[in-house]
Chains A and B, each alone.
Chain A
Amino acid sequence: GNSVTQMEGPVTLSEEAFLTINCTYTATGYPSLFWYVQYPGEGLQLLLKATKADDKGSNKGFEATYRKETTSFHLEKGSVQVSDSAVYFCALSDRGDTGRRALTFGSGTRLQVQP
């Protein structure tokens, strides 16, 4: 079956530091890959996505590249801010029998950015 593995947190960084959160996946076929962010007390928000090999998703300074050869989708940001403190979930989507796009989530990585 499908699975997503993320680096464990919390990740604690100083403001303006470089961020990498590792994500690798196992899937049959050709899944779409997503990063979602969850701020305290809120639901999940789509941060970025990529639908095929070598695609790069980007949003709000965050980037991730779909690497089929290494089955990875690592999240990066060049300079984090305190407002980026949240939990980040890597996920993959595969088309199921019912037509839904089932999401398989990683366990989440908590990012704490200190001023």
Chain B
Amino acid sequence: DAMVIQNPRYQVTQFGKPVTLSCSQTLNHNVMYWYQQKSSQAPKLLFHYYDKDFNNEADTPDNFQSRRPNTSFCFLDIRSPGLGDAAMYLCATSGTGGQGQPQHFGDGTRLSIL
């Protein structure tokens, strides 16, 4: 089945130690998104790629960066994680067809900061 896969499901890192989360897709979608979701809240969009074009949300901290080396893969880099960055990180993809194209989500990576 075509899908969005996030690795790892659980990640533990130390305060200030860089960490990378990965996402891959077999849907061949043009657009890939990264969301941060804290407990009992809605997902918050951090940034997205439209093909190779990177688009940052205005309030995304500089500590968060992303790379998309090819259509299938996208990475989220957190340069110096703080305690407030502990959250679930969700990757999603969408096509660019007509109205009503949904986003397809992975199962997320839950990040803990020690």
Contact = CB atoms under 8 A, between A and B. Distances in A.
B55 A49 contact: no
A82 interface: no
Contacts of A51: 99-100
Contact of A43 (B42, B94, B96, B108): B108
Interface in B85-107: 90, 92, 94, 96, 99-107
A107 B38 CA distance: 11
A106 B100 contact: no
Nearest to A87: B40
A98 B105 contact: no
Interface string A27-64: 00010101010000111111001111000000000000
B41 interface: yes
Interface residues of A, number: 28
Contacts of B101: 32, 93, 101
Interface residues of B, number: 29
B64 interface: no
A108 B40 contact: yes
B105 A49 contact: no
B16 interface: no
Interface string B28-67: 0011010000001111010010100101000000000000
A30 B100 CA distance: 11
Contacts of A49: 100, 102
Given A89-B43, A99-B30, 13 more contacts: A43-B106, A44-B43, A44-B90, A46-B102, A49-B100, A49-B102, A93-B100, A95-B99, A98-B50, A100-B48, A100-B94, A101-B31, A101-B94
5 contacts: A36-B105, A43-B4, A46-B104, A89-B43, A106-B42
Interface of A: 30, 32, 34, 36, 41-46, 49-52, 89, 93, 95, 98-103, 105-108, 110
Interface of B: 4, 6, 30-31, 33, 40-43, 45, 48, 50, 53, 55, 90, 92, 94, 96, 99-108, 110
